[in-house]
Structure 1
């Protein structure tokens, strides 16, 4: 890549440069290869798929497109829950067994005959439920021989699909819970129970809507896959390139511009992609040359990309997959979940932007102007890409369900793409988008199916309530210890489980303990959701940090700890809206004056907290100034008038002490 130099500012167009796996720049002609490298990196951390050709590739493509079309049609048709979810899982299992190799050592260019047979068998086990769903509903407690055989096979195939897509930990956990359901009498003390027969467990898992086909898979079949398809359609129309260019054009001509641009692009790209790893890696491949020229170290750049990518998963209007499950469990509108997420999102990205400003001063970041088109021209030519994002919220406000809102937004995205020839979703591009969208949903299909097994056993045996009682007993029933213990449990779960599975397991074990400790139910589930999401940037298995480090060439562990600093409010804010009943104001739930006061004081508190943690205001802060700023920031962020008054006094004292020391230094510095 050739970059011209101005008198003061380096100019570079990052989207025209490729980046190899070691972080070195390639020529613009290598961009396609760089995109292949990005796909390889995403697959390395989220599961590798086969690269097929010939008739088998055509078969897989047909199945993926058929899966997408089926779910689009099913949104407008009435299909009973059991057959609807069985068809969804049938498509998912067949595609997973054909696309995901049984081991990393397998040849990824072909499908062994054993996997073809398994895919056909998986489809048959689901077809049985579709045909006989009325009859099997009456045989849950006493299943027949055919039910037991097909149910056992389906259970094993679901576990194998999860192993191939997410690793061995989640299916191993499901096997442990199944064993707990079977060997209940052999567990000691409060953990023991009467035990359930093999046939009873199979009936519960396969024939009812309380096992494999429970709420998690239902949400995947009715909401998650539609939003995944929507993201694929946006990507196919070139919206991703527009989001990056718009971010660069809006923020890229200031010394802090590269960092701001990466943060803004992470927010815009991350919602439709739904994956923190994919967002961070994709954006890293595009913007790492820009960040490096600006003076960012590999670790600092990786931390910025990782924090931005994971932030997009907790940001409206399209949050992570677990957010749809929150709406289903609490029986609220998805619009309510969006409203609860607004202020935490503002605080999260404000913290990142403040850190960027401080890094600009302390780390000697150089101004680098990105060669992006002017904002006005970009909006005139490609601004229509924003319409469908706005439309989702507009449809929700108009009373549409989340499924209908995203469906009509998809239709709008396709329609407006024809405003320009280069963005038009022609039939070929549309089929490619449907194919890619269906494939992107496969890991969620397997995860939610296995999570349904775990939840089914928890509900059947009452283990969820026992676990909640244990959490309360260990914390003495006090709120703060309960919250700390819940956060630790969630971070431990997140070390081994995907975000969605981590939330689902915690929703039936940890969240009830929080509710019993006095936390409002929405706040308890949002607390659980946030700490499940943070698993992607939590040591020692922070996937986003390791993935981005493969691009920047930085030390992944140093990248991980720097990401923690950027993601600081994501770890603190959940405590703020759970420690006090008025904390619901931070979730924009309460009287308008309470919401306004909580929002303003939280922003002020976060600003003081960032200054104190980073040790910089107008210059280096002394230790006592930092203590006052941190204490004042925490008090301001805590909802309540006492905290506001105390925090304002402490922060003002710390700021006054800092300015009193800085003022005499200014003339000397100027001289």
Structure 2
């Protein structure tokens, strides 16, 4: 999920030190994630802008007013599909144009929604025996959703959806244990189109009520200058020391990524500004790209927004979004703790020099001028703690962002001279407010199309019972072992994530893989967070390692070597999910899953598991970097790596063994000068 159009946001941040070829290459990777959008002109651009602004206005209205679910979801999908067909071409040769078939597809998407809404309860009640027109419109919707996904995300996700549809149709022909009774076209269309269990299911519910509101909020922050402020603040706060450039990347990735939730856009936006500083202090191209990509990856797991999948976790588990934010706090801290350790080790390992950050005001001056951008960032959590629902919280946070932007002329979303003299409509149309409203809708298109497609998968899994079959097979292969089941589940999530975006990967695995963990006693909240974190790995795993590839385009490094460097920076933190599924004490990292459970939690147990996990991350960081107090020998490196894995496995025996190995490795390092001649 992105705040506004990430392509525009990323390119706007590019500095003079990054050449046009690198910019163009990085833009290609953003387009792979967000879709290759048309750049229109004239009346077409005005029409699309008006439609996007109307879509944002409608969803802001629904956040405050009451709109029936049976109306909101179809209207949301119709708006998304119509804009997808106008904004994304059917093929590159027709890019930057809207062809007649695009208009036909857009109008058909609207007709499908109108037919469904007008049909009312009568249409819903006949979902088991649909009429011919019901089937026709249902098939049209399926085709439109598949085509919208193809245009925004490529062929893989539509192919997976077609595979699931084929599975539903061909049940009796399949071998055991995959066989089922099978369903005809009418029954399948009835579930997918005429109920709230298929395309208009939980994923579209989240997309229409939360995800789009957060993209609008992110667009308001971006166009009010919050993104530039977060970058300047990070540079100013962390500059002037050998580790300043690396620390800047870590801090800025959190501040930039938190409101946007987009890994690739954060990587490119940050990399275009920070890479010259990283190169100046001594980072080679691949290492710099790996650090930038790792920082971008943090955007997907960082409060207050996280990635779009976080909203789906709340929907699947029927918990508040505040509980999801609560569960993400300690893992996010540990992730950035690992990155900070890595940049500290880098500075010592490579003998990095100080860098001077030019043309950046002091921290206090920046904060005094633009303090209100921090208020916008934390207001969502404040409103949720005040008792507002997530939908109302992000609505009022958007209002706060709009109101506070007016405190300064250079951040105002509406120009100060809006009402002065003639030309009101021209000034309004060119204002940051209109651009933010447009960006909020355009930025959600690829995620919303994926959510609609994911509804096809969820509907098939629910209809056929595939989730229970799959979990039984996984447990059988694992021999009932929780550790092996967790490893197999992580591999399944990772493999699926190689081909599809994070949101789609999470949805698929939440319905087919999570039951395997819950059957073995893992709480649902821990199982879903485990799957969410491994779905995020799709951002840094070839062949869809978009964040490292985009970073490599900026730094001029090798894409695959940059991916390996990114893995080096992120692997320590990605052992954390195993902690909260293998032992009940590990659930302390998720703060027991909810505010209610936290009230009766054992705080000593939470502190203990957090500290041992942090120590394990530090051991792994030192082991992977080959540097602790000084450069490690093979023996010391092996001791640290084994210690890190032991400390990531909950249980006092593993913890004691891990601590003993860390102490042994550090003792060898301390004794080394005495045992060896100078």
TM-score (normalizing by structure 1) = 0.93
Q: Please state how far the C-alpha of 1:18 moved relative to its aligned partner.
A: 4.9
State how far apart, in whole Å, the 2-side matches of 1:92 and 1:569 are: 38
What is the deviation of 1:614?
A: 1.7
Q: Distance in 1 between matches of 2:485 and 2:25?
A: 44
Do the aligned partners of 2:263 and 2:297 also contact (CA within 8 Å) in 1?
yes
Tell me what 1:551 maps to.
554
Match of 2:254 in 1: 267
**1:596 pairs with 2:599:** no
Per-residue CA deviations over 1:130-178 (Å, capped at 9, x if unaligned) read 2223221111101112211111111110110011111111111111111
Determine which of 385, 394, 410 is the counterpart of 1:397.
Answer: 385
Comparing 552-561 and 362-371, the one that deviates more: 362-371
* 1:109 to partner: Cα distance: 2.5
CA distance in 1, matches of 2:638, 2:282: 30
Separation in 1, partners of 2:32, 2:574: 27
Task: Specify the alignment match of 1:539 in structure 2.
Answer: 542
> Are the structure 2 counterparts of residues 44 and 532 from structure 1 closer, same or farther at C-alpha, using a change threshold of 3 Å?
closer
The Cα shift of 1:334 comes to 0.9
Query: Match of 1:455, SS?
Result: helix
Q: CA 1:437/1:38 → structure 2, altered by over 3 Å: closer, same or farther?
A: farther
Cα distance in 2 between the residues matched to 1:549 and 1:558: 9
User: What does residue 19 of structure 2 align with?
Assistant: 20
State the match for 2:170 in structure 1.
183
Pairing of 1:598-613 with structure 2 (within 5 A): 598-613=609-624
Change (3 A) 1:60 1:15: closer
Match of 1:508 in 2: 511
1:79 to 62, 67, 84: 67
Can you list the C-alpha shifts for 1:296-328, whole angstroms capped at 9, x where unaligned?
111111101100001111111111000000011
Alpha-carbon separation, structure 1, partners of 2:67 and 2:660: 60
The answer as to 2:93 corresponding to 1:115 is no
CA distance in 2, matches of 1:290, 1:226: 35
Tell me if structure 2 keeps the 8 A contact 1:576–1:583: yes
Map of 2:403 onto structure 1? 415
- Cα offset, 1:115, TM superposition: 0.6
C-alpha contact (below 8 Å) 1:92/1:442 kept by paired residues? yes
Shift in CA distance, 185/161, structure 1 to aligned 2, threshold 3 Å: same
Displacement after TM superposition at 1:439 (Å)? 0.2
Q: CA deviation at 1:386?
A: 0.5
Q: How far has the Cα of 1:629 moved from its partner?
A: 2.2
> How much has 1:581 moved relative to structure 2?
1.3
Q: Partners in 2 of 1:97 and 1:109 — Cα distance?
A: 12
Q: SS of the residue aligned with 1:496?
A: coil
Counterpart-to-counterpart distance in 2, 1:662 and 1:484:
41
Distance, in Å, in 2 between the alignment partners of 1:45 and 1:553 is 20
Q: Is 1:450 aligned to 2:453, yes or no?
A: yes
**2:570 paired with 1:582:** no
CA–CA distance in 1 between the matches of 2:135 and 2:646?
A: 58
What CA distance in whole angstroms lies between the structure 1 residues aligned with 2:29 and 2:517?
A: 38
CA contact (8 A) 2:14 2:269 kept: no
Does the 8 A contact of 1:143 with 1:199 survive in 2? Answer: yes
Following superposition of structure 1 onto structure 2, how do residues 269-288 of structure 1 map, counting pairs within 5 Å? 269-288=256-275
Match status 1:90 vs 2:101? no
Q: What secondary structure, in the 3-state scheme, does the structure 2 residue paired with 1:110 have?
A: coil
- 2:667 corresponds, among 643, 650, 656, to 656
Query: Does the CA contact (< 8 Å) of 1:228 and 1:274 recur in 2?
Result: no
Within the candidate set 374, 399, 402, 1:386 is matched to: 374
Aligned mates of 1:40, 1:602 — CA distance in 2: 38
The alpha carbon displacement at 1:46 in A equals 3.0
CA pair 542-21 structure 1, distance change in 2 beyond 3 A: farther
Match of 2:437 among 421, 434, 438: 434
* Contact 1:609–1:630 (CA under 8 A) maintained in structure 2: yes
| Residue equivalent to 1:4 | none
Structure 1 residue 57: Cα displacement: 1.2
Deviations 1:466-522 (A, max 9, x none): 111111111111111111111111111011111101000000111110111221211
**Alpha-carbon displacement from aligned partner over 1:20-64 (angstroms, at most 9, x marks no partner):** 2545xxxxxxxxxx6x87655522443201111111111111111
Deviation at 1:627, TM superposition (A): 2.4
Q: State the 1:659 CA deviation.
A: 0.6
Q: Does 1:521 align with 2:532?
A: no
Match for residue 221 of structure 1? 208
Unaligned runs of 5+ in 1: 1-13, 24-33
Q: How large is the Cα RMSD of the aligned pairs?
A: 1.6
In the comparison of the two structures, how many residue pairs are matched?
642
The 8 Å contact of residues 578 and 648 in structure 2, kept in 1 or not, is answered as: no
SS of 2:356's partner is strand
> How far is 1:597 from its partner?
1.5
Aligned residue among 241, 257, 266 for 2:244: 257
Cα displacement string for residues 611-656 of structure 1 (whole angstroms, at most 9, x for unaligned residues): 1222212211122222222233333343333333332222112211
1:281 & 1:16 partners in 2: Cα distance?
11
Q: Give the distance between the partners of 1:145 and 1:77, measured in 2 at CA.
A: 35
Alignment pair present for 1:614 and 2:625 = yes
SS at match of 2:542: coil
Most deviating of 91-100 and 389-398: 389-398
Distance 1:326 1:663 in 2: 54
- Corresponding position: 1:133 with 2:131: no
Runs of 4 or more off by more than 6 Å in structure 1?
none
The residue number in structure 1 matching 2:423 is none
CA separation in 2, counterparts of 1:662 and 1:209? 69
> What secondary structure sits across from 1:191 in the alignment?
coil
Task: State the secondary structure of the residue aligned to 1:137.
Answer: helix
Query: How many angstroms apart in 2 are the aligned matches of 1:648 and 1:517?
Result: 29
Which residue, out of 27, 30, 35, partners 1:42?
30
Paired residues of 1:71 and 1:222 also in contact (CA < 8 A):
yes
Name the residue aligned to 1:318. 305
Contact 1:347 1:569 in 2 (8 A): no
Q: Distance in 1 between matches of 2:90 and 2:251?
A: 38
What stretches of structure 2 of length at least 5 have no aligned partner?
1-12, 415-427, 593-600
Q: Bigger CA drift: 505-514 or 55-64?
A: 55-64
Q: How does 1:196-345 map to 2 (within 5 A)?
A: 196-345=183-332
Q: CA distance change for structure 1 residues 96 and 610 in 2, over 3 Å: closer, same or farther?
A: same
Is the 1:21–1:551 contact (alpha carbons within 8 Å) kept by the matching residues of 2? no
C-alpha distance after superposition, 1:353-390 (max 9, x if no partner) = 11111111222322112122100001000111010221
Distance apart, 1:587 and its partner CA: 1.2
> Aligned-pair distance for 1:664?
6.4
Higher relative contact order (CA 8 A, sep 6+): 2
